[in-house]
Amino acid sequence: MTRREPADPPASAQPALLARGTLADRGELLGGLMLAPALAYVALLAGIPFLLAIALSFSDATAGSLRFGWAGLRNYAAILSDPVFRRALWNTIVVTVGSQALVIVLATAAAQVFRASFPGKRVARFVLLLPWAVPVSLAAIAWEWIFDSTFSVINWTLKAAGLLHGWLYWLGEPTLALLAVIIVQAWRIFPFATVIVLAGLTSIPQEILEAATVDGAGFWRRLFQIELPLLLPVTSVAVLFGTVYTATDLGVVYVLTGGGPANSTHVLPTLAFQRGILGADLGQGAAIAVFLLPLLLVVAILMLRLARHTEVGVR
């Protein structure tokens, strides 16, 4: 198909030889060299401990000695028959699902609010983001004070409003304590989710929404039939991160309740810490922590699918 024009005769005088590339021109080589240190660091100090975590869960290792004996499934048998563990597993699920449900509602609402412009928006946005930036442990200690059994400002306010007649022992009663944990986790995650949803919202082309308005769609129809479906990938990202942050978090429960009262509010990370570090039973601690793995696996797979399908996302 290509017709070649008659070529010129090759240059008769042989020109000076062009210089070849040196090592400094080899992009792949340089790329490898620049990547290797980070890769090695992560592989050595995250990859190997990760495998070690699984290995330890099958061992009778303790913190006192460096012995490492095969224990088979003994650790798993022990924790599975342990009501405290089963309670912790259940609590982890309840706290994660409960807080993320709250997060979805709060973040969707907040994104709608913060899309509009109103006086004082910059300040409001800064305040909204405070919970996400503050160190978990410091936030938890503030909440512990808010939920204090004697001085709880929540109780005072409820009583002053006439809504409460008895007394709420927030951190002293298992159900209330769990509710407190859910509130704190939702409080901590929703600002982050809001910003992500907001980013998704602003990337929906304005014309699509305007077209819907011209087509006669009201606020709710626009929200449920256009915006929320288009926001699904972004919201999923926010929820996936939120799930990981919540389910694997140790700080909130550790500071707020320490797992109490009577081990009723433990989640997997705090129980793993209690058994593995405080109790020096590394094997059992590792086995407890390993129960976080299925969750992480699911999240990782969903993340990958989202990353691959970004073209169906918001554009």
Partner 1 sequence: MTRRTLRRLLGRATLYAAAAALTAFAGFPFYWMLVTAFKQNRDLYVGASDLRHVPWVFNQSPTLDHVRLLLHGTEFPHWILNTLLIVAVVIAVTVALAVPAGYSLARLAGRWGERLGIAIFLTYLIPPTLLFIPFSRLVSLLGLQNSWGSLILIYPTLTIPFCTWLVMGFMRSVPWDIEEQAMIDGYSRLAVILKVVPRLIVPGILSVVVFAFTLVMQEFVYALTFISSVEKMTVSLGVPIALVRGDVYHWGALMAAALVTSVPIAIVYNLFLDRFIESFTMGAVKG
Partner 2 sequence: MASVEIRNLRKKFGSVWAVDGVDLTIRDGEFLVLLGPSGCGKTTLLRSIAGLERPSAGEILIGGQRVDEDVPPRHRGIAMVFQSYALYPHRTVFENIAFPLRAAHAPRRNIEEKVRWAAGVFGISAYLDRYPRQLSGGERQRVALCRALVRDPKVLLLDEPLANLDAKLRNTARDELKRFQRQIGTTTVYVTHDQIEAMGLGDRVAIMDRGKVRQLGTPQRVYEDPDDTFVATFVGQPPMNLLRLCDGAGPPGTLLGFRPEHFLPRAVLRAAEDARSFRFHVRRVEYLGSDRYLYGTLPDQCDPSPTFIAKLPATIGTPVLEGEAYEFAVPVRALCYFDSTSGLRRRG
Residues 160-219 binding partner 1 (CB under 8 A) are 160, 167, 187, 190-192, 195-196, 199-200, 202-203, 219
104 alpha carbon, distance to own chain's centre: 13
d(CA 21, CA 229): 52
H-run or E-run covering 68: none
Partner in contact with 7, chosen from partner 2, partner 1, none, beta carbon below 5 to 8 Å by kind: partner 2
Q: How far is the CB of 119 from partner 2 (least distance, A)?
A: 34
Q: How far is the CB of 233 from partner 2 (least distance, A)?
A: 23
Is 84 in contact with 288 (CB distance < 8 Å)? no
Of 7 and 123, the one with the shorter C-beta distance to partner 2 is 7
- Which residues in the 44-103 window bind partner 1 by CB under 8 A? 45-50, 52-53, 56, 61, 63, 66
Among 84, 93, 94, 106, binds partner 1 (CB under 8 A): 106
311 binds partner 2 (CB under 8 A): no
Alpha-helical segments (H) within 62-135? 74-80, 83-115, 121-133
Which of these segments, 3-11, 63-71, 86-94, 280-288, binds partner 2 (CB under 8 A)? 3-11
7 binds partner 2 (CB under 8 A): yes
Of 137 and 225, the one with the shorter C-beta distance to partner 1 is 137
The candidate with the shortest Cα–Cα distance to 39, out of 307, 48, 91, 256, is 48
Among 12, 22, 81, 175, binds partner 1 (CB under 8 A): 22
Which of these segments, 16-24, 92-100, 219-227, 253-261, binds partner 2 (CB under 8 A)? 16-24
Of 92 and 263, the one with the shorter C-beta distance to partner 1 is 92
268 binds partner 1 (CB under 8 A): yes
Of 6 and 27, the one with the shorter C-beta distance to partner 1 is 27
16 binds partner 1 (CB under 8 A): no
Query: Residue 314: what residue type?
Result: V
Which of these segments, 18-26, 96-104, 139-147, 274-282, binds partner 2 (CB under 8 A)? 18-26
The candidate with the shortest Cα–Cα distance to 181, out of 127, 79, 87, 258, is 258
The CA-atom distances, in angstroms, between 144 and each of 1, 89, 161, 233, 251 are: 79, 23, 22, 35, 12
Q: State the angle between helix axes of 83-115 and 174-202 in degrees (0 to 180), rounded to the nearest 10.
A: 40
d(CA 275, CA 288): 9
Partner in contact with 314, chosen from partner 2, partner 1, none, beta carbon below 5 to 8 Å by kind: partner 1
Is 259 in contact with 274 (CB distance < 8 Å)? yes
Q: What are phi and psi of 81, to 5 degrees?
A: -90, 5
Is 251 in contact with 241 (CB distance < 8 Å)? no
H-run or E-run covering 28: helix 27-42
Of 5 and 311, the one with the shorter C-beta distance to partner 2 is 5
Q: Is 187 helix (H, G, I), strand (E, B) or coil?
A: helix
221 binds partner 1 (CB under 8 A): no
Among 11, 46, 51, 262, binds partner 2 (CB under 8 A): 11
151 binds partner 1 (CB under 8 A): yes
Whether a cis peptide bond, with omega within 30° of 0, leads into 261 is yes
18 binds partner 2 (CB under 8 A): yes
Q: Which residues of this chain interact with partner 2, rule CB under 8 A?
A: 1-5, 7-8, 10-11, 14-15, 17-21, 25
